[in-house]
């Protein structure tokens, strides 16, 4: 009987891959991976924000007096929103909130009182974007019925509520934005301004998802020889509504002021003569709906 030649085959043992893959760790309200937190050096975490100049790229321009600089939206959106979230801006103005929402793969619903301003903002987007990503509402943001209009836009975007609220109101009567009586810049008194602002903030609060954040961008003013703390007073109006204050950020104003030119010396004279100081900052208050 012939012998069978059996060849022994050495089977190489497969060693398991012991490398640990960390699961992405994020908060419920942003896309920041906390396991790799050192990869986000561009995100500000302190309360002093200084910008050398306004960002006029990617659809932004300084074509509207009183609009806030895009860098504020960039910082707030990355810190407090996720891709696909809806930003609700109750004072849309020139559309900074909407432009940056589109740039950062978010969506935006903006309320603006003046139809001519809404038309200007519309021209900054394509017809498709105005259906799928950006919704503009020409209405009085202090009127409670604006919530029905906002909800209709949320339904289109398949959202129950907005995920971030942006509030950049007029600084009382410093700049007149229109001749409409509903315009906050036309209030008969600062107290009327506070009350009307609170109505806008309450409408925004009601349309904001629980646990999500809001930002108030505002400065103060001088009147009749004294400083009027619009910023802190409006912030307190938001706290009365139910918002929890999370941060008070001071931002330099050089980035969003038009060049003063020769008038800079005039303001310096007025400051010396009137015993006051020239504003070089404004505030960003961050709140959370709890």
Question: What was the pLDDT predicted at 176?
Answer: 87
- List, in order of start, the domains of the chain with CATH numbers: 61-289 (3.40.50.150)
Question: What was the pLDDT predicted at 54?
Answer: 75
Question: What was the pLDDT predicted at 53?
Answer: 78
Q: Per-residue confidence at 65, pLDDT binned at 50, 70, 90?
A: low
Per-residue model confidence as pLDDT tens digits over 220-265: 999 988 999 999 999 999 999 999 999 999 999 865 555 455 567 8
Question: What was the pLDDT predicted at 7?
Answer: 52
DSSP 3-state helix, strand, coil percentages of the chain (rounded to 5)?
35, 20, 45
Question: What was the pLDDT predicted at 262?
Answer: 58
Spatial distance between the Cα atoms of 98 and 126, rounded to a whole number of angstroms: 13
Per-residue model confidence as pLDDT tens digits over 72-117: 999 999 999 999 999 999 999 999 999 999 999 999 999 999 999 9
Owner of token pair 């209009």: 149
């Amino acid at each position: 009987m012939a012998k069978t030649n059996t060849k022994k085959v050495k089977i190489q043992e497969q060693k398991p891959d012991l490398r640990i893959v960390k699961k992405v760790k994020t908060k419920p309200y942003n896309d920041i991976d906390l396991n790799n937190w050192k990869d986000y050096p561009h995100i500000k975490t302190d309360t002093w924000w200084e910008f050398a100049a306004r960002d006029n790229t990617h659809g932004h321009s300084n074509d509207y007096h009183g609009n806030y600089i895009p860098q504020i939206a960039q910082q707030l959106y990355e810190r407090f929103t996720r891709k696909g979230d809806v930003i609700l801006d109750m004072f849309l103005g020139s559309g900074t909130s909407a432009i940056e929402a589109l740039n950062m793969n978010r969506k935006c619903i903006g309320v603006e009182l003046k139809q001519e301003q809404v038309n200007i903002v519309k021209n900054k987007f394509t017809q498709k974007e105005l259906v799928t990503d950006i919704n503009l509402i020409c209405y009085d943001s202090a009127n409670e019925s604006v919530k029905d209009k906002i909800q209709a836009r949320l339904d289109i975007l398949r959202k129950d509520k907005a995920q971030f609220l942006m509030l950049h109101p007029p600084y009382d009567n410093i700049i007149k934005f229109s001749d409409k009586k509903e315009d906050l810049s036309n209030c008969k008194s600062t107290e009327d301004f506070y009350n009307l602002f609170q109505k806008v903030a309450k409408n925004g609060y009601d349309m904001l998802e629980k646990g999500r954040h809001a930002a108030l961008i505002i400065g103060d003013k001088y009147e009749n020889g004294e400083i009027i703390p619009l910023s802190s007073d409006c912030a307190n109006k938001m706290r009365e509504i139910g918002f929890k204050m999370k941060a008070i950020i001071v931002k330099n104003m050089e980035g969003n002021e038009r060049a003063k030119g020769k008038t800079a010396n005039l303001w310096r004279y007025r400051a010396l003569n009137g015993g006051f100081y020239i504003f070089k900052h404004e505030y960003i208050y961050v709140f959370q709906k709890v």
